[in-house]
Amino acid sequence: MDLQLKDKVALVTGGSKGIGRAVAERLAAEGADVLLVARGKEVLEKTAREVAKASGRRVEICATDLRSAQGCAAAVGALGQAFGRLDVLINNAGATQSGDFFQQDDAVWEDGFALKFYGYVRLSRALWPLLKAAQGSVVNVIGAASKTPNVNFMIGGAVNAACANFTKALAGLGLRDGVQVNALHPGPVVTDRLNALLDQRAKAEGLPRADYEKKELAASGMRAYSKPEEIAAAVAFLASPLSRQVHGADVFCDGGSTKTIL
């Protein structure tokens, strides 16, 4: 299936690793040029080299911290310099911490919202004129915890629920301006982030890591954790003109772990 992404320009936050990297690989394989945004320059450079080599597409980088307004402005500036246009915005960078509620002070909560909530808001707002001009698309990679609160993942759940609400409202503006907007909610995906989260949650519950992982997988009912490329395939479809009638949707790509309908 041709996703009709050839010669489109995409910006992927958190594009150096994990889900973001897999999304960048997939979009580039579909013929898009990509700007990868994350903090670590070396990993960005390595990923950009590898994605460009595999796809033959142009892959640029911007090393910036998206937790601040200045950091987001740097990403917007880099896009302007590198491409001067934008068809696809993938908001994906998130690093919300798991842990015991009573051990997480305001600074930890603020840090979680700074990157994943305000980062998504700021980039969507700043890049909207370009997306409107291109009649493009936004995919916000959020997370199944938006619907399923967890005592050991309160910040992530709250951030994700806020992002889901924001995405739905932004989709209303998208109807007006011709920009497709959707939320993609992964369940657990095998990335550095999942490894860190499982470590934090196992510690919060006082269980050995392997035992905790077994317990969580069994409780979810999933056959296996997702692979980044499985999430990337769903993101690429939502970024594609082919899915234009999917709008303002909360798409769950979670191996069936979410049991509710609302």
Ligand X SMILES: NC(=O)c1ccc[n+]([C@@H]2O[C@H](COP(=O)([O-])OP(=O)(O)OC[C@H]3O[C@@H](n4cnc5c(N)ncnc54)[C@H](OP(=O)(O)O)[C@@H]3O)[C@@H](O)[C@H]2O)c1
Interface residues with ligand X (CB under 6 A) are 14, 16-20, 38-40, 43, 65-67, 92-95, 115-116, 141, 143, 186, 188-189, 191-194
CA distance 209 to 243: 39
Judged by CB, which is closer to ligand X: 5, or 159?
159
* DSSP state, residue 97: P
CB of 26 to ligand X, least distance (A): 13
CB of 67 to ligand X, least distance (A): 5
CA distance 54 to 15: 16
Judged by CB, which is closer to ligand X: 18, or 174?
18
Judged by CB, which is closer to ligand X: 245, or 260?
260
Which residues in 219-257 are b (16+ Cβ under 10 Å) and which e? Answer: ebebeebbebebbbebbbbbbbeebeeebbbbbbbbbeb
CB of 178 to ligand X, least distance (A): 26
The CA–CA distances, whole Å, from 41 to 11, 58, 72, 254 equal 16, 17, 16, 30
The CA–CA distances, whole Å, from 136 to 175, 178, 240 equal 12, 7, 9
CB of 44 to ligand X, least distance (A): 7
CB of 18 to ligand X, least distance (A): 2
Judged by CB, which is closer to ligand X: 9, or 184?
184
Judged by CB, which is closer to ligand X: 176, or 223?
223
For residue 23, how many C-alpha atoms fall within 13 Å in the half-sphere facing its CB? 34
